[in-house]
Chain A
Amino acid sequence: GDSVTQMEGPVTLSEEAFLTINCTYTATGYPSLFWYVQYPGEGLQLLLKATKADDKGSNKGFEATYRKETTSFHLEKGSVQVSDSAVYFCALMPGNTPLVFGKGTRLSVIA
């Protein structure tokens, strides 16, 4: 079945460090891919998305590129801030079926 695997956390970085959170997927067909962010005490918010191969999603300095050849959608940010501390979820939507989530990666950024 369809699945998402993302790197386990927690990830702890110093402010201004480079961030990569790996995400790979298994799916039939051509799923849409998403990154969601959950700040402490809040619900999930859509961070960025990509709907076809080679698309790059970007928002708030975060980027991810839909790589069909490696079935990956890694999240990157060049310089993290304390305010980026959150849990990040990679997810895929294989057509019209329910969203499939990874287990989440907790990021802590220290000043």
Chain B
Amino acid sequence: EAQVTQNPRYLITVTGKKLTVTCSQNMNHEYMSWYRQDPGLGLRQIYYSMNVEVTDKGDVPEGYKVSRKEKRNFPLILESPSPNQTSLYFCASTHYGGTGSRYGYTFGSGTRLTVV
């Protein structure tokens, strides 16, 4: 089944404790992206990657890191989480290039992160 898999689904952590949220897709998509969703603010892009070893900042990159060492994986790293990073996070992927604009994104099920 074609899908984007995020782990974990739920995470509660303490301020300053490094964490990684994993994202993997099995569709051979070039493009992958991370979003956070907050009430009243909709979906905001954190980082995106157009292919292996190519990453770029989205609208709200502060406090986050990403890496793209393999095509299928795009982990989101919070080196020193803070309470304002409490949010619902989504990973998404699509084909980059003309086909991407025809098919849109495939989203993961989300990771609800709470930083206390």
Contacts and interface: CB of A to CB of B under 8 A. Distances in A.
A7 interface: no
A93 B101 contact: yes
Interface stretch (B60-68, B72-80, B104-112): B104-112
- SS class of chain B's interface: helix, strand, loop or mixed? mixed
B41 A42 contact: no
Interface in A8-22: none
A91 B104 contact: yes
A99 interface: yes
A98 B97 contact: no
Given A89-B42, A89-B43, A96 B104 contact: no
Contacts, number: 57
Interface residues of A, number: 22
A44 B41 contact: no
Interface residues of B, number: 25
A106 to B, nearest CB: 10
Nearest to A47: B104
Nearest to B45: A98
Interface string A17-55: 000000000000001101010000011111001010000
A102 B42 CA distance: 7
B101 A44 contact: no
B33 interface: yes
A67 interface: no
B16 interface: no
B115 to A, nearest CB: 20
A78 interface: no
Contact of A43 (B42, B45, B48, B110): B110
Contact of B100 (A42, A44, A96): A96
A109 to B, nearest CB: 21
20 contacts: A32-B102, A42-B109, A43-B90, A43-B108, A44-B90, A44-B92, A45-B107, A46-B106, A49-B103, A49-B104, A89-B42, A89-B43, A91-B104, A93-B101, A93-B104, A96-B96, A98-B45, A98-B58, A99-B33, A104-B42
